[in-house]
Amino acid sequence: MHRENTIGHACALLTSLIWGTTFVSTKILLTAFSPVEILLFRFVLGYLALFAACPRRFKTSSKGQELIFAAAGLCGVCLYYLLENIALTYTMASNVSVIVSVAPFFTALLTRLLLKGEEKLHPGFLLGFVVAMAGVFLICFNGIELKLNPAGDLLALSAALLWALYSVLIKKITAYGYGTIPATRRIFFYGVLFMLPAALLLGFRLEPARLTSLTYLSNLVYLGLGASALCFVTWNLAVKILGPVKTSVYIYIVPVITIASSALILGDPLTPLTAAGTGLALAGLFLSERRPKEHGPRG
């Protein structure tokens, strides 16, 4: 059990480290691609990679299970990333990442509401959330001038709520007993399916000439193979082992990685308030992960 928990924590950490850099890759791609174009290229590539890794087909045992897979694809692939990518066109990459980090709190609330008795909230989790969110506000109110953008920040907050719902759905899917890779592939299928109408409405353009740019191609491959195919598998595995609430607190690390990569690659400002906010976000992670000691009867 201890070894399995270690694997779960390692998967959640690896996923968060990679996802922290995806905001930068997406910001670079937004100079030539629309948000929906990035999503469609990214997840089609991710689906093909998962199919190559595990081509075996499987059938769900009921229509209810199929609907859960479809809902996960809609919330965690289509709507979450569409809102996140559109938010990046309004505000800085660091702002989007820290606002999305409110997802663990939404995950905890939805888990209690929808999966009654699944995971109990302990005081350390709530304290960690408060500390981490204090870091979020320090980063958002970065310097003397306010850095909030109502449109971008509201979209990012909506994305966080959708991710929380996805995490709860993943917990239900893992209980079905299907393999992590084929289950993730099924979720990607529905995610791409739901993206197609959005792509048509938002003016998807193929234009293969854009893919001749090494910068654009390498970032798409990174998002498709690394951040999508690999990371969704590792995240879903972490949720299977640790549960949605415990896994979700690793999202607090995402803004730390995003801020560092944004400063190095995009030249986004790194101020003392940003550094303090980053420290609080990390402290929130550790506080949320600490479990209260259970005192048994004394002999």
How far apart CA 184 and CA 232 sit, in angstroms, is: 7
Reported confidence tier of residue 36, pLDDT bands at 50, 70, 90: confident
pLDDT of residue 298 exceeding 50: no
- Amino acid letter at 274? T
Task: State the Rg of the chain over Cα.
Answer: 19
| pLDDT given at position 200 | 86
pLDDT of residue 122 exceeding 50: yes
| pLDDT given at position 237 | 95
| pLDDT given at position 263 | 78
How far apart CA 257 and CA 282 sit, in angstroms, is: 11
How far apart CA 20 and CA 290 sit, in angstroms, is: 23
How far apart CA 71 and CA 69 sit, in angstroms, is: 5
pTM: 0.84
Percent of the chain with pLDDT over 70: 89
Tens digits of per-residue pLDDT, 75-87? 999 999 889 888 8
pLDDT of residue 72 exceeding 80: yes
| pLDDT given at position 296 | 41
CA 276 to chain centre: 23
Reported confidence tier of residue 202, pLDDT bands at 50, 70, 90: confident
Reported confidence tier of residue 18, pLDDT bands at 50, 70, 90: very high
Q: What is the mean pLDDT of the chain?
A: 84
How far apart CA 110 and CA 105 sit, in angstroms, is: 9
For the segment 143-152, the average pLDDT, to the nearest whole number, is 60
Q: Which of 156, 194, 195, 184 is nearest to 41 (CA)?
A: 195
Tell me how long the chain is. 299
How far apart CA 53 and CA 124 sit, in angstroms, is: 39
Reported confidence tier of residue 294, pLDDT bands at 50, 70, 90: very low
Other CB atoms within a 10 A radius of the CB of residue 60 amount to 16
How far apart CA 274 and CA 268 sit, in angstroms, is: 11
